[in-house]
Every structure is written in structure tokens, then in C-alpha cells.
Amino acid sequence: MVILITGITSGFGRAMAQRLSADGHKVYGTHRKAQDLLPGVTYIKADVQSDQDCEDAVRQVVEAEGRIDVFINNAGMGIGGPLEFCSLEDARRQMDINWMGMVRFLHHVLPVMRKQGEGKILCFSSIGGLMGLPFQGLYSASKFAIEGYCEALRLETKAFGIQVVVIEPGDFATSFTAQRKSVAAPEAYEVYKTYAKSLESIEHDETTGLKPEYLAAKISKIVRKKRPRYHYIISTLEQRLSVTLKAILPPSWFARILGAYYHL
């Protein structure tokens, strides 16, 4: 299969590119500043914030292969901190990369798959796209947007043989933690007394989380499935349980549980 993945420089993207290439697929991946290139993977320089880059990347794959069997929207980033102290520019950037980056690529991928009469789209949301995480509100908002967009897209494209799958990872030990932009204004820590403690918990959970190779192995299986599920939560048992609790408990009860976990 011909697979296009956004953001393969590190973390999930690199692990998926490596695994899917080893599986025998023809893998193309986008990057902004690629280093330590993976053998057998074709790298395409593209910024998901650029309309032209996204269009050119899709065209390059189609011109070389004549089709795109699987598109994996993986590129993303996180901005953390109390929402009151997150700038409007932070909000725009968070949505522009995580959500609009996906929309830009799909704008060009969808016509290709529709004409083929088949295709798989895997879009990375997060457990944070199923619940609003304290001090990660902008990130959660961008992932909630992916959830809603893909729910509509799935229904619209079913008649064309296009399958839309949403991936919802929990905490993983990747470079995402180090690359997150967190609000550093002293006033934020003074006003929101639990911010520092919550940030410590967030970073601890991520740095001690699952390895990206675990997720890549799951994606390898999903890509091969004839009828994949609509959603896949890839996380620890504890984090999967949190999603179940949110679904079955009264909102006020779950809010207390989540608040206690984040020291609120």
C-alpha cells in the first residue's frame, strides 16, 4: 500500500514510518527539518501550516505512485497552561497546526481517494480529545475539533469506499513533552496555585508512558484491517478506564475525579 504520514521526524510519526516501511508498504512522510533519515522512507519537506506545501506533498505522492491508499494525519504540537494566560496567538497556532493542518491535507487527499473508490484515513486525536484536560485546554480543543470533523467526514465519504478512523493515544514517552510550549508567566503560577503541581503530574505521566513502538505496532494492524473500528484508544488500562468513567458517570462526578487527579 502507498501510505502518506504527516510529521515523521520523531515520536509517533517516526515509529509508524519505520514499522510500516518494514511491513513492506511504500511510505512517504512529511517533515520540516528531517535528520537521521529512515531507509526505505521517502521524505517530503512540508509545513502543515502552508496551504501550498500540503497541496504539493499530496501531488508528489500521486505523481510518483498514482494513488494514496492510506493517509495518516499525525503532525501536531501542544500548548499548555491556564487558559486565561494562553495568548490569542497561542490559540490560533494550536488550532492551525493540529486541526487546520489535517484539514489542509484532507482537502487534497479526499479527491484522490474518492476517484480511487477506496482509501483509509487515520487521524490522530487523543484521550484529551475525549475530555477537557486542565491546563491543556487549547490542546484538548484542537483534538475535540478533530473528533467532530472526522465524525462528519466518516458519514459523508462512506459511499466512496473511504474509511475514517480516529486514533486516541494516552500518554507516551516521546519528544512531545519537551517540545510542548507551556505558559511561563509568573502571574499564571501565582493566580493558579495548582498549575505547577499539575504540570509536574502531566510531564511525569508522559515521560513514563508507553513507547511509540507500541503504538506503531497497533497502527500496523489497523492499516491491514478490512473493516477497522471508528475509534481506537491506545493507552494504559487506567487511561482507558478514565474514558469509560466519563461516559457512564454524571458529569459532576467525573469532574471531581479529574480535578483530584490534577490537584485542583
Query: Per-residue pLDDT tens for 208-230?
Result: 888 999 999 999 999 999 999 99
Distance CA 59, CA 47 (A): 15
6 versus 204: which is more confidently predicted?
6
Reference 196, options 238, 134, 138, 140; nearest CA is: 134
245 pLDDT above the threshold of 90 = yes
Q: Is 251 helix (H, G, I), strand (E, B) or coil?
A: helix
What does 72-111 look like in DSSP terms, one character per residue? Answer: EE-----EES-GGGS-HHHHHHHHIIIIIHHHHHHHHHHH
Amino acid letter, 104: R
Distance CA 77, CA 143 (A): 11
Query: Mean pLDDT in the chain?
Result: 94
Q: What is the mean predicted confidence (pLDDT) over 138-164? A: 97
Is the pTM higher than 0.85?
Answer: yes
The predicted pLDDT at position 175 comes to: 73
How many residues are recorded in the chain? 264
- The residues annotated as belonging to the active site are 139
198 pLDDT above the threshold of 90 = no
Q: What is the mean predicted confidence (pLDDT) over 168-197? A: 86
Ordered by where they begin, the domains of the chain are 2-261 (3.40.50.720)
Contact 41, 61 (CB under 8 A): no
Q: What is the mean predicted confidence (pLDDT) over 136-156? A: 97
The predicted pLDDT at position 107 comes to: 97
